[in-house]
């Protein structure tokens, strides 16, 4: 690899990290809007006499979007490993923005009947395909471009983008619900957050146009031919890394979703708090702990990825039941305090996740490997979490049921962290193919 000064390496890493964060923020803004508006969209697209059944139907479409993510991961991962990260990241954010704007223009069930939920589901699937290709590329670009001993810190930018995307979506929906009447919200107000995606898309594309592919990928292209069949190679040679990625992602996204996005459904649809108050609570609980994300990334550079992830999982196990119990005591203020506390381990694990995953795979198949593992884990985790949690409350009548599901997911995460090799000292570059292959082989014997 050609020699660069520490200043040049840091500058390249910052530029790539900002590009990853900006694009990921837009992706998660677009993808989260639907979830935040689930309670509003339910009667518009899935009219039902039972309000909770309508919400559950709307959440099934959320799950459908997640189910499409692995397809997007395969499609865009293959292109990303063969043609580069930058071109794919331009495509994914564009596809997400267009499908989100079109969602905001959809007629409802009252206008076109059953075609309305069908079109809604189709656009949600397109969003899922886009999101499936985004995270693997953003994480790969940020991690590959970072200085070798600061990958955790620079890689955490992707997680910061996730946090700002989720908070931005909640703020947009919260603002609309605050300034419109329930009738206005149901008539046209719900469309505004979707349509805002248009100008956001333009800004993200313009910024990503300024970023080059990572030095590690450019070195790979210079020294050898890109892999012809990255999906086949990942599954044949790095299946162990894929399985570990699936397990870790399932655990982190399930626990994280139960601490953040699902909280909106739980507070508004299950516990009966106001939708506007619940939305602004989401903004607070996502943004207030965001400073812990880069701190956790930096700590993982020093103490290792596994130790920081394990600490976050233990935090969830200890805090889940007490925090959910406080939320149902009738005070939105105390619910806010409990939710913020529950999001501390969420912020910690987010600071490590998007650096660890790219480190498990060699450069030649990194985009594909991360995309496949992340998106399968995402389907099992975030894709089903609101459906499962709502169903558990409906079936058991126990509003603490989601807390016990959170504990289960955290225990799964601890188990997978225990059988995953430490990657914080690995070298990304000319030798990482051999190192990752040997690491995967030895991990199988763990």
pLDDT of residue 328: 83
Q: Which residue has the higher pLDDT, 429 or 79?
A: 79
pLDDT of residue 96: 86
**Sign (positive/negative) of CA torsion 183, 186, 188, 190?**
positive
Domain 6-444 fold: Growth Hormone; Chain: A; (1.20.1250)
Instruction: Residue 297: name the closest of 17, 73, 80 by CA.
Output: 17
CB 161 within 8 A of CB 21: yes
Question: For 9-35, what is the mean pLDDT?
Answer: 79
- Which tokens go with 424? 């914080």
Q: What is the DSSP string of 266-277?
A: IIIIIS---HHH
Please state which of the ranges 59-73, 163-177, 334-348, 424-438 shows the lowest mean pLDDT. 424-438
Distances (CA, A) of 415 to 105, 239, 250, 374: 45, 18, 12, 17
DSSP 49: S
Q: Which residue has the higher pLDDT, 126 or 46?
A: 126
pLDDT of residue 435: 46
**Portion of the chain with pLDDT greater than 70, in percent:** 91
> Which burial class, exposed, middle or buried, applies to 129 when counting CB atoms under 10 A from its CB (0-12, 13-18, 19+)?
buried
Please state which of the ranges 229-243, 376-390, 408-422 shows the lowest mean pLDDT. 376-390
Does the pLDDT value for residue 10 go beyond 80? Answer: no
Q: Number of C-alpha atoms within 13 angstroms, CB side, residue 314?
A: 8
Q: Which residue has the higher pLDDT, 430 or 156?
A: 156
Arithmetic mean of pLDDT over the chain: 83
- Which tokens go with 162? 């996730």
Instruction: Residue 70: name the closest of 195, 235, 216 by CA.
Output: 235
pLDDT interval class at 442 (50, 70, 90)? very low
pLDDT of residue 190: 92
Alpha carbon 317 to its chain centroid, in Å, reads: 21
Distances (CA, A) of 145 to 67, 326, 328, 426: 30, 43, 45, 14
Instruction: Residue 209: name the closest of 91, 363, 355 by CA.
Output: 91
Question: For 364-381, what is the mean pLDDT?
Answer: 90
pLDDT interval class at 53 (50, 70, 90)? low
Q: Provide the residue ranges of all domains of the chain, joining segments of one domain with +.
A: 6-444
The residue ranges of DSSP E strands in 54-164, in sequence order, are none
pLDDT of residue 405: 95
pLDDT of residue 384: 79
Which residues, at least 6 apart from 411, have a Cβ–Cβ distance to it below 8 Å? 313, 317
Which residues, at least 6 apart from 259, have a Cβ–Cβ distance to it below 8 Å? 285, 316, 339, 342, 343, 345, 346, 406
Does the pLDDT value for residue 445 go beyond 60? Answer: no
Please state which of the ranges 9-18, 85-94, 299-308, 350-359 shows the lowest mean pLDDT. 9-18
Query: How far is it, in rounded angstroms, from Cα 242 to Cα 362?
Result: 12
Question: For 169-188, what is the mean pLDDT?
Answer: 88
Question: For 307-336, what is the mean pLDDT?
Answer: 90
* pTM of structure: 0.83
pLDDT of residue 50: 53
**Portion of the chain with pLDDT greater than 90, in percent:** 30
Does the pLDDT value for residue 432 go beyond 70? Answer: no
pLDDT of residue 158: 86
Question: For 381-409, what is the mean pLDDT?
Answer: 87
What is the number of H-type helices and E-type strands within the chain? 24, 0
Question: For 174-203, what is the mean pLDDT?
Answer: 89
pLDDT of residue 62: 64
């Amino acid at each position: 690899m050609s020699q660069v000064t520490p200043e040049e390496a840091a500058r390249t890493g910052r530029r790539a990290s900002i590009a990853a964060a900006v694009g990921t923020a837009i992706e998660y803004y677009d993808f989260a809007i639907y979830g935040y508006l689930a309670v509003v969209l339910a009667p518009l697209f899935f009219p039902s006499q039972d309000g909770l059944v309508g919400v559950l139907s709307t959440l099934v479409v959320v799950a459908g979007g997640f189910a499409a993510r692995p397809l997007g991961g395969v499609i865009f991962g293959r292109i990303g490993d063969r043609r580069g990260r930058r071109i794919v990241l331009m495509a994914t954010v564009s596809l997400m923005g267009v499908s989100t704007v079109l969602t905001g223009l959809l007629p409802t069930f009252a206008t076109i009947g059953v075609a309305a939920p069908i079109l809604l589901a189709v656009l949600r699937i397109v969003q899922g395909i886009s999101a499936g290709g985004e995270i693997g590329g953003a994480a790969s670009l940020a991690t590959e471009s970072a200085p070798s001993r600061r990958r955790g810190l620079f890689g955490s930018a992707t997680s910061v983008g996730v946090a700002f995307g989720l908070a931005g979506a909640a703020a947009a929906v919260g603002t609309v619900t605050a300034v419109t009447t329930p009738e206005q919200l149901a008539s046209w107000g719900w469309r505004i957050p979707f349509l805002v995606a248009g100008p956001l898309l333009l800004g993200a594309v313009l910024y990503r146009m300024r970023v080059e592919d990572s030095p590690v990928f450019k070195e790979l292209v210079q020294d050898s031919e890109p892999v012809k069949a990255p999906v086949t190679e990942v599954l044949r040679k790095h299946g162990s890394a894929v399985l570990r990625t699936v397990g870790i992602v399932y655990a982190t996204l399930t626990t994280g979703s139960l601490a953040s996005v699902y909280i909106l459904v739980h507070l508004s649809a299950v516990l009966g708090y106001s939708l506007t108050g619940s939305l602004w609570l989401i903004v607070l609980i996502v943004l207030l702990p965001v400073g812990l994300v880069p701190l956790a990334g930096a700590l993982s550079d020093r103490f290792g990825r596994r130790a920081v992830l394990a600490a976050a999982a233990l935090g969830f196990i200890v805090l889940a039941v007490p925090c959910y119990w406080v939320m149902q005591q009738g005070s939105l203020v105390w619910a806010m305090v409990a939710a913020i506390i529950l999001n501390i381990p969420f912020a910690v694990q987010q600071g490590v996740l998007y650096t660890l995953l790219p480190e498990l795979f060699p450069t030649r198949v990194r985009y594909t490997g991360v995309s496949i593992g992340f998106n399968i884990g995402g389907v099992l985790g975030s894709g089903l979490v609101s459906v499962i949690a709502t169903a558990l409350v409906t079936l058991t009548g126990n509003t603490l049921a989601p807390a016990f599901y959170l504990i289960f997911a955290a225990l799964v995460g601890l188990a997978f962290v225990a059988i995953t090799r430490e990657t914080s000292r690995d070298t990304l570059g000319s030798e990482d193919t051999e190192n990752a292959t040997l690491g995967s082989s030895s991990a199988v014997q763990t």
